[in-house]
Structure 1
Amino acid sequence: MRQTAPRTSVLFHVVDFNDGGIESSLIQWLRILDRSRFEITLSVMFASPPFISRFRALIPQDVKVEILVDRPWLNHFQSRRYARKLSKLGRVGRDVFNTLAVRPYVRKRIASLAKHHDVIVDFDMSLRRWASQFNVAWLGVNHFSFDARLGNRPRKARRLAQQYARYDAVVALNQHMADEANAMFGDGLRRLVVLPNAIDIDAINASASAPDASTAPVAAPYIVSVARLDEIQKDHRTLLHAYAKMVSSNAVAEHLVIVGNGAFRQELEGVAAQLGIAQRVHFVGHQDNPHALIAHARALVLSSRYEGMPMVLLEALAHGKPIVATDCPTGPREILDDGRAGILVPIGEPDVMADALMRVVADAGLRDAMTANALARAQHYGIEQSNRRFAECVADILAARHAHRSVKAPA
């Protein structure tokens, strides 16, 4: 009788859930992994308000969820942080408390969970101090450009290099990011793996017609941007100037819908007013389900100065949207297949962005071709290919650990 191979038990870990791309990409992995191969647990250090109100319901029912800091007294400072009631002195107290009380407690919880798992996927690398411990394979996932985050901080880069070297493998989301890691860390990492974010294409398309999907704030056709209002990274100023140029130079029917919240919202609304486009630019804030807004847009635009591997571009591919994105480090060029699945424009150049957007909205034939290319490119990040890549990665690090143990074992 043929025996079924035992499943590999995988523990995904993240500190908490907010409203960023890391959380979205983690939910996608929890959904798409092949259950005939993998048994999955999720550990979350703190149960944040977004986790309780939104993300908990998105986690598949067969994924066991462990909240590591599960004692009310251990959550005192973190709860005040979520409520935005933590003063400067309180932040100092939190750091001391976390070092003396929270961190040892979490370490015990992780050590206990490790006994029942083959692999820990440290999805935000928040457990890097303990990577290589507990007799389990460790996979650390980096979501950002190494150069953008560490290029001007050599001391921090050296410290992190020592911690990253403890992982059985460090994951880069694309080849550009892997090239940065090789240049920065050299041979210091045990293994460097390129493992892109994954998407469930059918689920993404279905979410566009779900009851909770956001609807457009305007009846006119529109261009959509979905990004946190963080000008250090996302650069909506360039987008607003590009859109103003489109409006002033052409008869443009399309409005601009900006999805996202952040500290720069009031400033950006002021920029739109100064440029005379405030009536055509719609700031709709964060949307739990923006997929209908993406699906019905004329095009999606990303204006970032740097990225990791932006989930919004993957989701736009799944919807077959024409895309205009800055050619920033590290994600857009690879996601858009060197410009074959979207238009790449230079960082911080509104005139070039305006010309690209104008080409898209004015040329229906171009949009049709871009839609076909986007849908084809989305398959590269779909369930089948993502499972293959993840299974190969896990098999490689487990085989390497087995070989290492065999070499160390006495004859």
Structure 2
Amino acid sequence: MFNNKSQSRNDGRIRVLFHITDFNDGGIESSLIQWLRILDRTRFKVSLSVMHTSPAWENRFRVLIPPDVDVEVLVDRPWLKYFQSKRYERRLGKLGRIARDVHNTLAVRPHVAKRAAQLARDVDVIVDFDMSLRRLSGRFDVAWLGVNHFSFDARLGGRPRKIQRLLTQYRRYHGVAALNQHMADEAVRIFEGKLERVIVLPNAIDIESIRERASACHDDIQLTPNGAPYIVSVARLDEVQKDHRTLLRAYAELARRGTVEEHLVIVGNGAYREELQNLARELDVRERVHFVGHQDNPHPIVARASLLVLSSKYEGMPMVLLEALAIGKAIVATDCPTGPREILDGGKAGTLVPVGDIRAMADAMERLLTDIGPREALAVKARTRADHYGIEESNRRLLSFLEAVGAA
């Protein structure tokens, strides 16, 4: 399909451009970093375009980009990024948001389209990692792969007008990638089979790198009093999706039973931090629950935990579970749409509990914390399951898509 592009390569490698709007502190950004690292450089030449340079990009992510990845910032002029800068500073009121929307339509989008066309001349495929370029998809004589990170049902269920609008844009991609089979099935159903191609492309992990980072010294953080053992949760403090309320109530139930000594360590920041701290106080577990904020490298904290808990209402393909598999950690996760069931191999590589079920979560944690046998067995299965998301399998999946659309 794209033979002219393929023939113009000067070293035989497939030139892949990843794109994302900006970098914040979510799982999408972490999964993109993994993709930039794990692609086989004998097969792929990798570049990255970023719409806006956020504070998280400047302070954290820029240094994580592999040195051989060329980075292009699309909105690179002060007058173009004025409103976005105000947004990062949280100084954009209602009128400011209206002005931003007009500014984006009249100035930013045309500029981005021009820059994207320029970049497309030197690549074979654009991986639109957050589908923020969907208005441009299908253009510039390159292959387009749009990556969706969340449940289609959770985001679009009961919204027929939005579904129809997105269908017009999504069907121009040569492929839409879902992170697991459940999400792929949702896409086929919700868009009535009208997308050109739906593929399953799970998040990728560099297993050895994760294990190496997990062994790093983390003595500068005092997690629990006197080094008490702990359960860990690593997630943005966002109760719309992550549901720390259920986790705190389950932990409070566990504490009341008096059967375990583990504290609870919560890694992450977000708008709900104060509310959750107040809830821990109301539940009379504040002395045993420790909010340690965002951590650039949470892997050592996970590695030293007795087990990891994910309490989400819905997910995409949570990186924290993939990374916990690589570390070899016993896991308790809600059986939410989508991600945990597939990642944990139907419950063989971790324990699944119903969403919002306080007692079931408390029971699962208690069972693993009081019986070392099942906990160690899950840890062994976790390390084996991690290989499904490792470098070799991830490269194979992307190459298979590119071959299918004629871009390889």
TM-score range normalised by the length of the shorter chain: over 0.9
In structure 2, C-alpha distance between the alignment counterparts of 1:232 and 1:62, rounded to whole Å: 38
User: Post-superposition shift, 1:394?
Assistant: 1.4
> Which of 115, 118, 134 is equivalent to 1:128?
134
Distance 1:45 1:377 in 2: 35
**Which residue of structure 1 aligns with residue 405 of structure 2?**
397
SS at match of 2:295: coil
Matched with 2:6 is none
Matched, 1:356 2:349: no
Alignment RMSD (CA, Å): 1.4
Shift of the 212–108 alpha-carbon distance from structure 1 to 2, 3 Å rule, reads farther
Task: Find the partner of 2:256 among 223, 248, 254.
Answer: 248
Whole-angstrom CA distance in 1 between matches of 2:155 and 2:222? 35
Query: Tell me, what secondary structure is at the counterpart of 2:79?
Result: helix
Q: In 2 relative to 1, CA 221–212 (structure 1 residues): closer, same or farther, beyond 3 Å?
A: closer
Please list the CA deviations of residues 236-263 of structure 1 after superposition, one character each: whole Å capped at 9, or x if unmatched.
1111111111111133210000111111
Of the structure 1 ranges 26-35 and 82-91, higher mean CA displacement relative to structure 2 is found in: 82-91
Letter in 1 for 2:373: G
- What is the identity, as a one-letter code, of the residue corresponding to 1:55? F
Can you list the C-alpha shifts for 1:48-67, whole angstroms capped at 9, x where unaligned? 11111111100000000001
Corresponding residue of 1:279? 287
Q: Does 1:297 align with 2:297?
A: no
**1:180 paired to 2:186:** yes
The total of aligned residue pairs comes to: 397
Partner SS, residue 356 of structure 1: helix
Q: Please tell me whether the aligned partners of residues 171 and 194 of structure 1 are also in contact (alpha carbons under 8 angstroms).
A: yes
Segments of structure 1 that go 5 or more residues without pairing to the other structure are 403-411
Amino acid corresponding to residue 254 of structure 1 in structure 2: E
Native 8 Å contact 2:218 2:300 kept in 1? no
Q: Write the distance in 2 (CA, Å) between the matches of 1:213 and 1:182.
A: 48
Instruction: Indicate if the aligned counterparts of 1:200 and 1:382 stay in contact, CA closer than 8 A.
Output: yes
Deviations 1:307-361 (A, max 9, x none): 0000000000011000000000010000000000000000000000000000111
**SS of 1:120's equivalent?**
strand
Q: Distance in 2 between matches of 1:190 and 1:213?
A: 51
Alignment counterpart, residue 235 of structure 2, candidates 227, 231, 250: 227
Alignment correspondent of 1:408: none
Of residues 297-306 and 281-290 in structure 1, the stretch that sits farther from structure 2 once superposed is: 281-290
2:110 aligned to 88, 100, 104, which one? 104
TM-score normalised by length of structure 2: 0.95
SS of the residue corresponding to residue 80 of structure 2 reads helix
Among the aligned pairs, what percent are the same residue? 65
Q: Distance in 1 between matches of 2:292 and 2:218?
A: 15
Relative to structure 1, the CA distance from residue 209 to residue 215 in structure 2 (aligned partners, 3 Å threshold; closer, same or farther) is: farther
1:202 aligns with 2:213: no
Q: Which amino acid in structure 1 is aligned with residue 370 of structure 2? A: A
Letter matched to residue 72 of structure 1: P
Q: How many Å separate the matches in 2 of 1:152 and 1:241?
A: 31
**Residue of structure 1 in register with 2:123 after alignment:** 117
Q: Is the 8 A contact 1:318 1:374 kept in 2?
A: yes
1:339 aligns with 2:347: yes
Per the alignment, in what secondary structure is the counterpart of residue 72 of structure 1? Answer: coil
Which residue of the partner structure matches residue 40 of structure 1? Answer: 46
1:6 aligns with 2:12: yes
1:36 and 1:82 map into 2 onto residues whose CA distance is 38
Q: How far, CA to CA, are the matches of 1:152 and 1:235 in structure 2?
A: 23
Q: Tell me, in whole angstroms, the C-alpha distance in 2 between the residues paired with 1:150 and 1:279.
A: 40
Report deviation, 1:206. 1.2
Which residue type is aligned with residue 238 of structure 1?
Answer: T
Tell whether the 8 Å contact from 2:325 to 2:383 is kept in structure 1 after alignment: yes
Paired residues of 2:259 and 2:370 also in contact (CA < 8 A): no
Question: Amino acid of the residue matched to residue 201 of structure 1?
Answer: I
Contact in 1 for aligned 2:259/2:366 (Cα 8 Å) = no
Deviations 1:90-142 (A, max 9, x none): 11111111111111011000000101110000000000001011111100000
Higher relative contact order (CA 8 A, sep 6+): 2
1:208 deviates by: 2.1
Q: Which of residues 138, 146, 171 is equivalent to 2:144? A: 138
The Cα of 1:390 is off from its aligned counterpart by 1.2
Q: Provide the residue aligned with 2:36 in structure 1.
A: 30
Residues 56-67 of structure 1 aligned to structure 2 (within 5 Å): 56-67=62-73
Tell whether the 8 Å contact from 2:229 to 2:261 is kept in structure 1 after alignment.
yes
**Which has the larger displacement, 82-91 or 16-25?**
82-91
C-alpha deviation, 1:152, in angstroms: 2.4
1:159 to 150, 161, 165: 165
Measure the CA separation in 1 of the matches of 2:98 and 2:243. 32
2: CA distance, partners of 1:5 / 1:70: 30
Amino acid aligned to 1:95? D
